[in-house]
């Protein structure tokens, strides 16, 4: 499949979301174009070559649906067998996505759903690929749990900043205190982030996914540049090892990481 160029992405961004010929992309739009170009390259690897094969892409914590709508136009084209679903909790953004969707040139079916990403009943029954770009607060953890429950075949997730809402942060903080990690902000922050990333990786692997964590764009584009590539493989050996490592990370009580049911383990 041909990869969309940065120029393609810039042009589509302008036409679909700005629409005024005199207006220019802002500096933040230019950075977003770089992120989206890199992410579309990742998505392209998951789109089947057979254009008759059904393919459902779920854009989670979608915001204005940049990822889903650009994938529909630049990657899926006239595939009538493809479906792109945007899931976003903010009703205003959902409406803006619908308006933008009317400008997208694609044969794929487009659907816009208002709701929380953690409500797995809102996810389609067959998810070929779920994508979340800059899922904020607890959204990244909720996306991971919903992807696991929905048995999404693949997940591409770019978390946003790690706030107090991150499910593993209480355990990470406790470990920092136990190990005497200095309170100097850059040192403590990196340690906490590493524990959160490790817990998310192990949680996916324990559920049957092969996970790679990579920097998908340079830090100068965005400091939140870590991408989780998770592919469902049902590798029993990997899952068993990940479960054991996850238990070690969570500690004796295991009381600092939320479970699928939303309580505490």
Q: What fold is seen in the domain 6-160+210-233?
A: Rossmann fold (3.40.50)
Please provide the average confidence, as pLDDT, over all residues in the chain: 91
Query: CB-hemisphere CA count at 13 Å for 115?
Result: 16
Distance (Å, whole) CA 59 – CA 36: 13
Is 32 a residue whose pLDDT tops 80?
Answer: yes
Overall average pLDDT of the 232-259 stretch = 82
**Confidence tier at 264 by pLDDT (50, 70, 90):** very low
Overall average pLDDT of the 74-89 stretch = 96
Lowest mean pLDDT among 14-18, 100-104, 147-151, 158-162: 158-162
Q: What is the helix (H) or strand (E) element at residue 58, kind and residue range?
A: strand 55-60
For residue 61, give Cα distances in angstroms to 15, 94, 135, 165, 177.
22, 10, 6, 15, 33
Q: With left for phi above 0 and alpha for psi between -120 and 50, is residue 208 left, alpha or beta?
A: left
Residue ranges per structural domain of the chain = 6-160+210-233
Distance (Å, whole) CA 148 – CA 113: 20
Per-residue model confidence (pLDDT) at position 1: 65
Distance (Å, whole) CA 252 – CA 190: 24
pTM of model > 0.75: yes
Sign of the dihedral defined by the CA atoms of residues 122, 123, 124, 130, in that order: positive
Distance (Å, whole) CA 127 – CA 56: 5
Per-residue model confidence (pLDDT) at position 245: 95
């Amino acid at each position: 499949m041909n990869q969309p160029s940065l120029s393609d992405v810039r042009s589509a961004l302008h036409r679909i979301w700005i629409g005024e010929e005199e207006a220019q992309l802002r500096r933040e739009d230019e950075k977003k174009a770089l992120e989206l170009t890199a992410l579309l390259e990742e998505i392209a690897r998951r789109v089947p070559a057979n254009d008759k094969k059904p393919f459902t892409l779920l854009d989670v914590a979608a915001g204005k649906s940049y990822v889903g709508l650009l994938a529909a136009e630049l990657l899926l084209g006239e595939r009538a067998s493809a479906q792109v679903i945007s899931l976003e909790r903010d009703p205003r953004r959902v409406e803006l996505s619908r308006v933008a969707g009317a400008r997208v040139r694609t044969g794929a079916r487009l659907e816009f759903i208002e709701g929380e990403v953690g409500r797995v009943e809102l996810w389609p029954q067959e998810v070929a690929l779920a994508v979340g770009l800059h899922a904020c607060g607890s959204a990244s953890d909720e996306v991971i749990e919903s992807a696991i429950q929905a048995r999404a075949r693949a997940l591409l997730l770019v978390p946003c900043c790690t706030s107090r809402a991150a499910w593993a942060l209480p355990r990470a903080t406790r470990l920092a205190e136990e190990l005497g990690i200095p309170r100097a902000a850059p040192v403590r922050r990196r340690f906490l982030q590493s524990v959160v990333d490790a817990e998310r990786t192990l949680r996916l692997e324990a559920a049957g996914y092969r996970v790679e964590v990579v920097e998908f764009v340079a830090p100068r584009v965005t400091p939140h540049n870590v991408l989780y590539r998770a592919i469902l493989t049902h590798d029993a050996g990997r899952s068993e090892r990940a479960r054991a490592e996850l238990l070690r990370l969570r500690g004796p009580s295991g009381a600092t990481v939320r479970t699928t049911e939303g309580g505490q383990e």
